[in-house]
Structure 1
Amino acid sequence: MKVYQKLTSDTTQATESCAEEEAADGKPLCIQKLSTWWLGGGLLTVAVLLSGVTVWVLGQVWWVWHEHGTPEKCSSVPESLRFDCYPERNVVVTQELCESRGCCFMESDRPWDSRGGLPWCFYSPDFPSYALESLNQTELGLKGLLTRKVKTYYPRDIEKLQLSAEFETDTRLHIKITDSRSPRYEVPLEVPRVRKRAENPTYTLEFSKEPFGLVVKRRSSGTVLMNTTVAPLIFTDQFLQISTTLPSKFLYGLGEHRGSFLHSLDWSTLTFWARDVPPTESYNLYGVHPFYLVMEEGGAAHGVFLLNSNAMEVALQPAPALTWRTIGGILDFYIFLGPDPNLVVQQYQQVIGFPAMPPFWGLGFHLCRWGYETSNMTWQTVKAMRNYRIPQDTQWNDIDYMEGYRDFTVDPERFNTLPQMVEDLQKHGQYYVMILDPGISSTHPPGSYWPYDEGLRRGIFINSTQGKPLIGQVWPGLTAFPDFSNLDTHQWWLENLNLFYKHVPFDGIWIDMNEPSDFMDGSTEGCSPEELDNPPYVPAVLGGSLFAKTICPSAKQSASTHYNLHNLYGLMEAKATASALIKIREKRPFVISRSTFPSQGRYSGHWLGDNRSEKKDMYWSIPGLLSFSLFGIPLVGADICGFSGSTSEELCTRWMQLGAFYPFSRNHNTQNEKAQDPTAFSPAARTAMKEALLTRYGLLPFLYTLFHRAHLQGDTVARPLFFEFPQDEATYSIDRQFLWGRSLLVTPVLESGADSVIGYFPRGVWYDYYTGSPVNSSGENLKTAAPLDHINVHVREGTILPTQTPGLSSWVSSGNPLRLIAALSQSASAWGDLFWDDGESLDTFERGDYSYLVFNVTQNTFTSTVLHSNVEATYITVDTLAVYGVREQPKTVTVNGKETPFSYLENQVLTVTALDLGLSQGFSIRWL
């Protein structure tokens, strides 16, 4: 590529002849084609010379021409490695447009479409990029300078970049590329500081000097995990792009999107820009999580996280490879080496933070709908659940409890008995959660609505470019939006919640519409014509603009512009809400948020949004919850039975069975549809739903322990099968089944009219959870019976599950005796653990106020070892031990050396009951 300066010219008058002026090398500028476009407010002239060189003329100052790839160079690029040089949507990419960027243009048999496909316009192998000018050692790694000598086709190139590579741990590499001269927006994530360079990194880092690129390899195998030399690095003010190859096609993460858990690399594009839209394939949805995990050949795994909050997209292609494109911030990558997929997710959470420990009641069953209409109607639903003795922990209300849909109000006529209902719930050991939206109503006489008046006085609302509160429209009508990047807003939010709590003593909060959602595009005054609202490149966002159904990106917030903070809005609101709950209730906060961003798990859980009452939505919920497990948000679930539309009895029964195994389990539907709580169905369906919930409540000690491990070290709760069987490639694409932890395999029925289900059972012995009957698998798909009143659940060999006699609420259940299930391995061993505390106090583990027990089976002996104990354990007893896989009937069973009665069934299940063993003391049970 060469750059020539021409101070004056009138290229619009050029003809198909040689221009009078000559280039610096003395060759005439012979034009064979000439086209002009308006681009970014200026005139772009593109001329194709007879020599095949393409000339760009921007305004009247610069002539820039590129020697685009020769036909030989272009044809040498395999289709799967063609990196798109013209990703703009809604543009018919012609040869002229493509070659104006100095790129290769080759038509193919596969047509271009508006959402992507095999690109006809792609980079040539010698397309110019940055050059690595210097590289020096630092205390933690390396620091270098990148320079670009030739301008790109997007405005405001950043000519000099700073590169840093820090070897933070043996399994974590941190690479940052940013402007070397001017600071750019960086996400204020609180990452633990590293003070010492890794001594024995499991990775190597290599560089290509010119054009610049970097290569990250796994030291043990030489596997290339990242290779950015395959396409040029582009870094302009509002367009950043970097591409890399992948070591395999097994790619996961990159949310929030609806689709299979395993991504398709067939020329698909994933867009990241928080948006209020019912979950739909190919759309950008509520949250943004630029993190992916790749399974490599041989079963190792690695992960990559781009810490960037601007609008972005990831283009996937079958090389396998991907391209990151973002329109602001910096390129801030963390690479995690695992090598086990569980370790990859743990290492990711060491950066973003481990999730909070939820209250025990938060793991119970939740019930909600938009359309209860009155507090008495809500209350009647709670009473009906009690009457049918169906477990329920928490009752919710949607926006219909408010007066005029205004936050921090209660409709004085329709919900006049709400305080009494909440009091009744809490007397029965149950809990209350209500919805809050961020949009604060702005249309009332001064002095009549304190949240807006006081917010206006304190200046805590997001402002337009004119410096006044930006006004949009949500449920209450015209609204202002709190700026949660401002700590003063957190105090205002706390005071509003505290005032409301004095009237309605809620237990948790559901924050919705926090993308933030706006029923109009931008604001009542529209958005500015400037480049924050209309950037040179817009990722493939739904609606075609960054302000479609949300506020203007140019809006001003305390920490930056909304352009930089949009994707952080839900996270910042969740942080303010969790903090307020702690101060108000002095207990663990329970918050469920729609919009999410990395580190959200520290403050809230998530539900998968406004799904539909369709069987495909039931299926899509599984890859959804598995993806959020990767993202460090284990408290996740979907609206059971679907939010919009009317469910059928069969669909809702099957969905209640599946939803009983969501980490966060809530049945929720919309107004003007049939009720879908368990009491609304026939006795048979109601019984099936009740049994599924009783199974969940029986498993709460095990589930609670999984959440403790998630909080302590970043373990997943709902887990894909390949996390436990990384050597078994057959598990890599499974997203119709999932595990709880390492121990429990859930195989739901997802088809209508079925009385059986086919599921994959990895190699080994799997025991029916309910009966203990063994299933021996060589690693195969097996068909199991699944009548309408049954969901298949199997226990993995070698595990011990702490379960409990289920009650009608978590509070009742938590005092009941334990039933321990030991599922023996083929070597007759097993292991499990139990974490136990009061279920609601803050920081019980950190303060040492908990009990932790480890269970083992070896040599026909079950032992319970107390590693840590507190007073809570003294209230709990172990009543039953069931041992699955005891191959021969024992002659005697002893408990702490004393002989005791037992039973033994032909399916090789040994059961010892009436044990009455204190949980706070170790014990042993032996069979011979």
Structure 2
Amino acid sequence: MEKTNLYGVHPFYLAMEDAGNAHGFFLLNSNAMDVVLQPAPALTWRTIGGILDFYVFLGPDPGSVIQQYVEVIGYPAMPVYWALGYHLCRWGYNTSDSTWEVVKSLRGYRIPQDVQWNDIDYMDQFMDFTLDSTKFATLPDLVKDLHAHDQRYVMILDPGISSTQPNGSYWPFDEGLKRGVFIKDAEGKPLIGKVWPGLTAYPDFSDDVTHEWWYDNLRRFHEQVPFDGLWIDMNEPSNFLDGSTNGCPSNSLENPPYTPGVLGGLLRAKTVCATAQQKQSIHYNMHSLYGLMEAKASASALKRLTGKRPFVISRSTFPGQGMYSGHWLGDNRSVWKDLYTSIAGMLTFNLLGIPLVGADICGFGEEAQEEMCVRWTQLGAFYPFTRNHNSINTKPQDPTAFSPLARTAMKQALLLRYSLFPVLYTLFHHAHVRGHTVARPLMFEFPKDVRTYGIDKQFLWGKSLLVTPVLEEGVDYVDGYFPEGIWYDYYTGDCVRSKGEELRLRAPLDKINLHLREGSVLPTQTPNLTLSVSSGQPLHLVSSLSDDGSASGDLFWDDGETVDTYETNQYAYIIFNVSKKVMTSQVLHSNAEATFITVESATFYGVKAKPSRVLVNYQDAQFTYRTNQVLTVQDLGLNLSQNFTISWM
């Protein structure tokens, strides 16, 4: 919904100044607030209380501003490898068997899928930590089957805990009462609201006791259904009532002298009372922190349960959220406009230190049209977090639900994503260690080019991969802006020399335009149906040369799931350089994982003349050269953990 408050609070801005300089500003405050943008240009924050901590980040360039901001709020966690695969979900898989059928259907068409999700359908009467034993009796078997195919399972959890079950019949509520984990009303009794299961109490995640209770519930359910990750929703916290079943007291906290323009016009509108009591403060001060604290409890519990990196996706977010969870952009619609605005949403969360982000591919609400779903899958293949999800009582919109032509186009887009996994994984490493963005606006790389400032229809992965998706109906072309320099068509190596201009690109239904910026080396892999298979495949290095023949790139590699591999030195890090017709690889840090990976081939875009010889580690090698200045060397069989050289003359 536009012009209303949604799911998160991030009182931060990034401003571009003259000459490509930038600065940032952060107001660390968790109270309800308005943000007013004035044409002056000026920005006014009106907050209704709390602590006022001001931070100014001097940059000087936009990327540095974000690094400084993330240093304050906390670096994003390194995701578990399968988080970067294709996720499929919907609200309205009525049974575990119908969920399973979709998984098998994707396998049948050999469409990549790493993760299957379930919405609230799996629960008994929508109650957390329960299983509908009639419709979802085979869910444990489905999860076992997913694991046997190197796939994963993620389920939804809402914070509202049913409060009306017969005494002794629902452990989460009974135990929660015993341990005192629920938010209390002004009189000190558990506050009761209403969510999907009916009347509910809300866990107070500001209390460590609640974190332990949350873990115990997850552990008990995990013994029944060994899920791999969590989707935490409705955690603003959301309420179908205003305040509680008993209303809220009439005082200046519930009705402050100034109320920001929240949907419903009251602080308690569709959430709990502002006067509700939590361990650390009243809800008036804590409301915006609810999702962050639930994410922290969930990530901690998953780490204890699995011994691996946790996977959590949250709807509600606050600064620092990236340390514990990713985010999806909430309930969008199956319309072209929402396809387009998802780019700005994705880029924004990369600026906010939550790089694991994406929108519901093909849209959540309304019916997805085939052409739009193809274009959305192509764009969605370049969301850092890629999930197709739709609403109950709508037609299926997974790739197998469409015509062979559309299905093939979607499959190609997903295979393309899987082939770029080494690039994406390395970008997440730099986000985790240095506070870089994964998907970034063009202005981050070209801050002196003012034409890049307003671009919200294209974006970059890292510094060198330019994505130009089709965002309109019924066209087979797309207009894209190319900043000054040399750009290479990712698929063919054809070269575009731009003075800083807009170009029209061919874009038939089965193509998303991708261009490589000069001076880069990208490590790619032969894709497969899951990332656990893909990530063991040989590497193919793609180099896009500058006019002086130079290029560079890097690769971060580890086992993909152990916690803190960088911090404990259990990783490999390799840099690639091309200069004066010689490519070198330099292993700066090695580990056992990398010794299993080989470099099978290398392609160089922009080799101006056909070489007479190509040498690999000083031995003659076979090569091919195409007239569009593309040199390819194959059958290399080089071990990634050993330095190598490829040269030509």
**TM class, shorter-length:** over 0.9
1:519 is aligned, of 221, 225, 240, to 240
1:604 aligns with 2:302: no
Shift of 1:883: 0.4
1:716 aligns with 2:437: yes
* Residues 195-594 of structure 1 mapped to structure 2, 5 A cutoff: 280-594=1-315
CA distance in structure 1 between the partners assigned to 2:262 and 2:9 by the alignment: 13
TM-score (norm 1): 0.70
CA distance in structure 1 between the partners assigned to 2:547 and 2:174 by the alignment: 69
Q: Which one-letter code corresponds to 2:307 in the other structure?
A: E
For each residue in 1:488-523, what CA deviation from the matched residue of structure 2 results, as whole angstroms up to 9, or x when unmatched?
Answer: 000000000000000111110000000000011111
Shift of 1:431: 0.3
Partner residue, 1:838: 559
Shift of 1:331: 2.1
Give the SS at the match of 1:800: strand
Q: Which one-letter code corresponds to 1:476 in the other structure?
A: P
CA distance in structure 1 between the partners assigned to 2:370 and 2:262 by the alignment: 37
For each residue in 1:574-626, what CA deviation from the matched residue of structure 2 results, as whole angstroms up to 9, or x when unmatched?
Answer: 00000000001000000000000000000000000010000000011000011
CA distance in structure 1 between the partners assigned to 2:285 and 2:601 by the alignment: 56
Shift of 1:835: 0.1
Partner residue, 2:518: 797
Partner residue, 1:887: 608
Partner residue, 2:462: 741
Q: Which one-letter code corresponds to 1:720 in the other structure?
A: P
CA distance in structure 1 between the partners assigned to 2:42 and 2:563 by the alignment: 44
1:677 is aligned, of 392, 398, 408, to 398
Shift of 1:770: 0.9
Partner residue, 1:613: 334
Give the SS at the match of 2:389: strand
Partner residue, 1:633: 354
CA distance in structure 1 between the partners assigned to 2:2 and 2:634 by the alignment: 51
Give the SS at the match of 1:565: helix
2:371 is aligned, of 633, 646, 650, to 650
Q: Which moved more, 1:337-346 or 1:321-330?
A: 321-330
Shift of 1:324: 1.6
CA distance in structure 1 between the partners assigned to 2:266 and 2:627 by the alignment: 66
Q: Which one-letter code corresponds to 2:292 in the other structure?
A: L
Q: Which one-letter code corresponds to 1:538 in the other structure?
A: T
CA distance in structure 1 between the partners assigned to 2:167 and 2:522 by the alignment: 59
For each residue in 1:856-892, what CA deviation from the matched residue of structure 2 results, as whole angstroms up to 9, or x when unmatched?
Answer: 0000001110000000011100001000111111111
* Residues 813-828 of structure 1 mapped to structure 2, 5 A cutoff: 813-828=534-549
Give the SS at the match of 2:248: coil
Shift of 1:729: 0.1
* Residues 46-125 of structure 1 mapped to structure 2, 5 A cutoff: none
Partner residue, 1:659: 380
CA distance in structure 2 between the partners assigned to 1:334 and 1:449 by the alignment: 46
Bigger Rg, structure 1 or 2 = 1
CA distance in structure 2 between the partners assigned to 1:886 and 1:640 by the alignment: 38
1:754 is aligned, of 472, 475, 497, to 475
Shift of 1:454: 0.4
Give the SS at the match of 1:289: coil
CA distance in structure 2 between the partners assigned to 1:622 and 1:519 by the alignment: 30
Q: Which one-letter code corresponds to 1:589 in the other structure?
A: P
1:778 aligns with 2:499: yes
Structure in which a larger fraction of residues adopt strand: 1
Q: Which one-letter code corresponds to 1:326 in the other structure?
A: T
CA distance in structure 2 between the partners assigned to 1:640 and 1:486 by the alignment: 36
CA distance in structure 2 between the partners assigned to 1:535 and 1:759 by the alignment: 48
CA distance in structure 1 between the partners assigned to 2:97 and 2:2 by the alignment: 39
CA distance in structure 1 between the partners assigned to 2:4 and 2:516 by the alignment: 37
For each residue in 1:783-803, what CA deviation from the matched residue of structure 2 results, as whole angstroms up to 9, or x when unmatched?
Answer: 000000000011110001010
CA distance in structure 1 between the partners assigned to 2:311 and 2:60 by the alignment: 33
CA distance in structure 2 between the partners assigned to 1:663 and 1:569 by the alignment: 24
1:624 aligns with 2:348: no
Q: Which one-letter code corresponds to 2:97 in the other structure?
A: N
Give the SS at the match of 1:926: strand
Give the SS at the match of 2:11: strand
Partner residue, 2:645: 924
Give the SS at the match of 1:844: coil
Q: Which one-letter code corresponds to 1:738 in the other structure?
A: F
CA distance in structure 2 between the partners assigned to 1:671 and 1:519 by the alignment: 19
Higher relative contact order (CA 8 A, sep 6+): 2
Shift of 1:847: 0.5
Partner residue, 1:704: 425
Shift of 1:330: 2.6
CA distance in structure 2 between the partners assigned to 1:322 and 1:789 by the alignment: 43
1:692 aligns with 2:413: yes
For each residue in 1:353-385, what CA deviation from the matched residue of structure 2 results, as whole angstroms up to 9, or x when unmatched?
Answer: 000000111000000000110000000000000
CA distance in structure 2 between the partners assigned to 1:733 and 1:284 by the alignment: 24
CA distance in structure 2 between the partners assigned to 1:473 and 1:770 by the alignment: 53
Q: Which moved more, 1:561-570 or 1:328-337?
A: 328-337
The runs of 5 or more residues in structure 2 that have no matched partner are none
For each residue in 1:759-790, what CA deviation from the matched residue of structure 2 results, as whole angstroms up to 9, or x when unmatched?
Answer: 10000111111111111111011000000000
Q: Which one-letter code corresponds to 1:571 in the other structure?
A: L
TM-score (norm 2): 1.00
CA distance in structure 2 between the partners assigned to 1:775 and 1:447 by the alignment: 70
CA distance in structure 2 between the partners assigned to 1:421 and 1:578 by the alignment: 24
CA distance in structure 2 between the partners assigned to 1:313 and 1:710 by the alignment: 30
Structure in which a larger fraction of residues adopt helix: 2
For each residue in 1:788-836, what CA deviation from the matched residue of structure 2 results, as whole angstroms up to 9, or x when unmatched?
Answer: 0000011110001010010100001011110000000121100100000
Q: Which one-letter code corresponds to 1:922 in the other structure?
A: N
Shift of 1:466: 1.0
Q: Percent identity?
A: 67
Q: Which one-letter code corresponds to 2:475 in the other structure?
A: A
Give the SS at the match of 2:199: strand
Give the SS at the match of 1:346: helix
